[in-house]
Amino acid sequence: MATPSTPRRPSEARDRLIRVASELFYREGIHSVGVDRLVAAAQVTRATFYRHFPSKEDLVLAYLQSEDAAIQGAFAAAEQSGAEPRELVGLVIQAVADDVERQHTRGCPFINAAAEYPDPSSPIRVRIADHRKWFRSTLEHLMKAAELPDPAEKSRILVLLRDAAMVGGYLDGAQTIRPTFERTAREALALDPQAA
């Protein structure tokens, strides 16, 4: 009666844990954030934590999955925005630059997580690899739709440059790398018809 807003299925405590974990894991690194910190920040007890996640690693996986879902959602929204494929590639470049400047100022969650998990066969590294495969493949389809020559190679170029923008934005500052990133990307993808 007092609190009628009790969402049933998805479990509110679970969502809080994932939100808090996403924030803390990204800002401070994964190994640096213990379970104590997580349950305190999410206002959840340890028992609740381990009921929803068999181990801390499962929460890390949920964190990466939520990041993955956010990016996939952004791509899906952009594709349904009605923009022409050609300008969509330019929008991706701009979106990456915006993301580095505003949202992901501490680098790429997947790259950073990989730095902490050396074993390529670990579930976390597998999920990182899957995310990167999806990203590159999505870019290739985008390049194909834009009728750019050699879409596979161009997708690899954009993956390369996006990684660079993420790392460079974190370590050198977004404003420092933004013009260089955008220029290099547009040139390497041959987006602007006219040249010097």
Binding site for a copy of itself (CB under 8 A): 27-29, 31-32, 106-107, 110-112, 114-118, 128-129, 132, 153, 156-157, 159-161, 163-165, 167-168, 170-172, 176-177, 180-181, 183-184, 187-188
Q: Which one, 2 or 195, has the nearer CB to DNA?
A: 2
169 binds, among a copy of itself, DNA, none (CB under 5 to 8 A by kind): none
Shortest distance (Å) from residue 81 CB to a copy of itself? 28
- Neighbouring CB atoms inside 10 A of 190's CB total 12
Alpha-carbon span 29 to 46, nearest angstrom: 20
Alpha-carbon span 36 to 17, nearest angstrom: 12
Alpha-carbon span 94 to 84, nearest angstrom: 15
Q: Which one, 51 or 183, has the nearer CB to DNA?
A: 51
- Contact flags string 37-56 toward DNA, x per CB under 7 A: x-----xxxxxxxxxx-xxx
Shortest distance (Å) from residue 32 CB to a copy of itself? 7
Q: Which one, 46 or 183, has the nearer CB to DNA?
A: 46
- By the rule CB under 7 A, 8 interacts with DNA: yes
Amino acid at 61: L
- By the rule CB under 7 A, 14 interacts with DNA: yes
Per-position DSSP letters for 14-74, written without gaps between them:
HHHHHHHHHHHHHHH-STTS-HHHHHHHTT--HHHHHHH-SSHHHHHHHHHHHHHHHHHHH
Shortest distance (Å) from residue 178 CB to a copy of itself? 11
- By the rule CB under 7 A, 11 interacts with DNA: yes
Q: Which one, 44 or 124, has the nearer CB to a copy of itself?
A: 124
Q: Which one, 56 or 186, has the nearer CB to DNA?
A: 56
Residue 6, sorted as left (phi over 0), alpha (psi -120 to 50) or beta, turns out to be beta
DSSP structure class, residue 8? -
The helix (run of H) or strand (run of E) holding residue 169 is: helix 151-172
